[in-house]
Structure 1
């Protein structure tokens, strides 16, 4: 543990919020919405007798096509509550059969592919046409980090907001009952979208990445935060400039604006998203909130046990 649990529960670090944080995101989403959402749902055969699946394309940041899956129970007539699922670092949307949990529980699930990712445990299908040049370390964490406008996570978080809009556009989805969910990078996206979309039903935020970022680089050598450390070994003179960009994407600043009811999880032996970074966001979270603490787990967090907790919450949201 990087801090004892009693200190974690009280940990409320000062936030570094840019003066134009709200304006930056309002402008970013306004520009994205100048492009037609154009969500296209093409039903595909998967061999799954109890689940219907559509291959989805919609316009994300810059109008760029973003891929996804929409899965629903085969016999459902709708409208259905829907989980919008975001994916961990370097993962992609994979195959439809990777996402059977929520249809099995009677929900729709909309799985957003992560642009430019998909070299991890699941393949991806969405390129990143706006990948910025300039100095960077291998990976996504420093891509375009010279400015907030060019930074990779500006595009990814915007794609996440547009994924909610695409899910709501489908006739089987109850637009008033949308939950955002994810772990690690996906948890960071879910927390950001929970702050940027004011009328969501709930958020499931598991071991979130991209929170209390500067502190994370000071206490862990684990990937992906290690990408920043490697970048700074050569770009010694750019430390403050880079963190000024990252302040626009830090989950602690989104947490302070979060109004969506949220269930968090944290693992106290997690070296990837250290517990103090998770509690920094949780303790700043402005909306209704609860957290599940897994004392002896690492970045896997609560795993299937956390899913039990989420299903119990979801049962009360139907």
Structure 2
């Protein structure tokens, strides 16, 4: 893939006009209040994953509407029972994937963190090693995939459920034994990055956010400049439902990482790939340049991978995160995090 989007200097200045719904904050406040009527921890069971230096828990927590959502929790062996409370990384998964096996993602546990990997409701059968969380909600007519499930009503849309799950995953992480509730970070790649942006805007008092090549940002721009899926699901749907454009984009505005990320308070490390046709660079820079714009922009960094497509930085980006996050946590006084949580 050749370079196809704006030149990098223009991307660095790209601040598109916003199309936020007037009731965006009320919509999410009501949604999360309803979800939080349920006790967050449903079950935490220690499992033998064959790992001797890492403890593994199979977590079930109450997500959207109290529905059970699965997650893996890995952490340094013995750290739940003794030692200083540990910081937490809550990770969300890319489009079509599920939580798979606990041994697939061990970097954060071996770096001294509690690592929560949230399963993705109704996904987990496109790549990877499977998921374990159903999505019990129905849908009207939709194109294949999840982008257009409930597309005519934000109350019914799939991403209302998934993004609520993400916020509740943070709540569940904070309820685990011997964790530092003030040092919780959200992270993810692609869909996981878009969900991390949503969580960053919807959760109070996060210590950091690390969205890699994030999906779910600046939908109108995305469908105008790429034919790639999953954004292509919106095009596919509108090619059949020819009069639905205004309603479709109004619904998606409630789940746009540009809008939700503006409400974040935590430092962030983004990544972007300039040849990425799946999540075009201008959609990522729209989210990056608007990030925390309503809250007094904290430290916000971005890694640019000029010659990569949607794979982005891969191990290079994880190496960057493993160095960036401890630095940010060390520079974030407890009082500052507590103040952010009280906003």
Q: Same fold (TM over 0.5)?
A: yes
Q: CA deviation at 1:35?
A: 1.6
Q: Partner residue of 2:318?
A: 307
2:26 aligns with 23
Q: Quick check: 1:118 aligned with 2:117? A: no
Aligned counterpart, 1:6 = 9
Measure, in 1, the Cα distance between the counterparts of 2:196 and 2:101: 21
Q: CA deviation at 1:223?
A: 1.0
Give the aligned partner of residue 80 of structure 1.
86
The answer to whether residue 110 in structure 2 is matched with residue 104 in structure 1 is: yes
Hey, what's the Cα distance between the residues in 1 that align with 2:11 and 2:175?
A: 40
| 1:198 to partner: Cα distance | 2.1
What is the aligned partner in structure 1 of residue 67 from structure 2? Answer: 64
Partner of 2:301: 290
Deviation at 1:16, TM superposition (A): 0.4
Aligned position for 2:246: 240
Matches within 5 A, 1:32-43: 32-43=35-46
Contact 1:222–1:272 (Cα < 8 Å) also in 2: yes
CA contact (8 A) 2:71 2:116 kept: yes
Indicate conservation of the 8 Å contact 1:39/1:166, yes or no. Answer: no
Aligned counterparts of 1:38 and 1:200: Cα–Cα separation in 2: 19
Report how far residue 39 of structure 1 moved: 3.5
8 Å Cα contact 2:42-2:68 kept in structure 1: no
Alignment correspondent of 1:181: 187
Question: Residues 157-306 of structure 1 correspond to what in structure 2 (within 5 A)?
Answer: 157-286=163-292, 287-288=297-298, 289-306=300-317
What TM-score do you get using the length of structure 2 for normalisation? 0.91
Per-residue CA distance 1:250-293 (angstroms, 9 max, x = gap): 11101221211100000000000000000011011123211110
Aligned to 2:334: none
Structure 1 residue aligned with 2:47: 44
Deviation of 1:244 after TM superposition, in Å, equals: 0.6
Segments of structure 2 that go 5 or more residues without pairing to the other structure are: 331-343
Q: Take 2:39 and 2:97, find their aligned partners in 1: how far apart are those partners?
A: 27
Once the two structures are TM-superposed, the CA of residue 114 in structure 1 deviates from its matched residue by 0.4
Query: After the TM superposition, which of the residue ranges 30-39 and 105-114 deviates more from structure 2?
Result: 30-39
2:134 paired residue among 127, 147, 150: 127
The alignment partner of 2:155 has SS state of helix
Q: SS where residue 134 of structure 2 aligns?
A: coil
Q: How many aligned residue pairs are there?
A: 317
Contact 1:88–1:183 (Cα < 8 Å) also in 2? yes
Any idea what the Cα deviations from partners look like across 1:194-250, whole Å, max 9, x if unmatched? 011120010001010010011101110111111111111110110111101001111
CA contact (8 A) 2:41 2:175 kept: no
Could you list the runs of 5+ residues in structure 1 that have no partner in the other structure?
none
TM-score, normalization by structure 1: 0.98
Q: Secondary structure at the match of 1:236?
A: coil
Quote how far apart the aligned CAs of 1:104 are. 1.0
RMSD: 1.0
